[in-house]
Amino acid sequence: MSQEHTSSSSSLLAAPFRLLIVENEANELKALIIGLRMEGIEATGAPNAQTALSMLKERPYDIVLTDLMMPQMSGMELARQIRKEYPDVTTIMMSGFSLSTLQLSRHDCGIVGFIRKPFRIDELIAYIHAKLNADPTCEMPLPKERFDLP
């Protein structure tokens, strides 16, 4: 992940929110947390799906950004569990694999979006802003086929 610092990206967010990042690659998880915190976002990390579910029980999160491919429980399985137990939590999938929106929507797991790795922190923030505000446009337009689900 690129940690480019853009002072204007945090101004994209209308209201504060709590973000839980689920990523089994320790360096990627750390980079995401640091990059998002530098932009003023309350970001916390979990190294796997089971830890994420435990963290969701302990405190509320607005968004879960989860990797697709993880040991023990995949991001898809985690998203299904989140939708079942925490229906108000927005779940966004990230992966280095190129998946179509049709492939993701067939899984019916409550994922509201997909972002393909690698991405820059400012791209992620703009995308989250658009999803939270149900705004199809944002200051940094993102390619529809790369990010949005129907």
Confidence at 129, pLDDT banded by 50, 70, 90: confident
Tell me the whole-structure pTM to 2 decimals: 0.76
Q: What share of the chain in percent tops pLDDT 70? A: 69
Confidence at 96, pLDDT banded by 50, 70, 90: confident
pLDDT at 15 (0 to 100): 52
Identify the three-state secondary structure at position 149: coil
48 CB-contact burial (10 Å; exposed 0-12 / middle 13-18 / buried 19+): middle
Q: Provide the CATH topology of domain 9-147.
A: Rossmann fold (3.40.50)
Please state the domain extents for the chain: 9-147
C-alpha distances in Å from residue 95, one per residue of 4, 12, 121, 134: 20, 24, 15, 22
81-101: b (≥16 Cβ within 10 Å) or e: bbeeebeebbbbbbbeeeeeb
Confidence at 107, pLDDT banded by 50, 70, 90: low
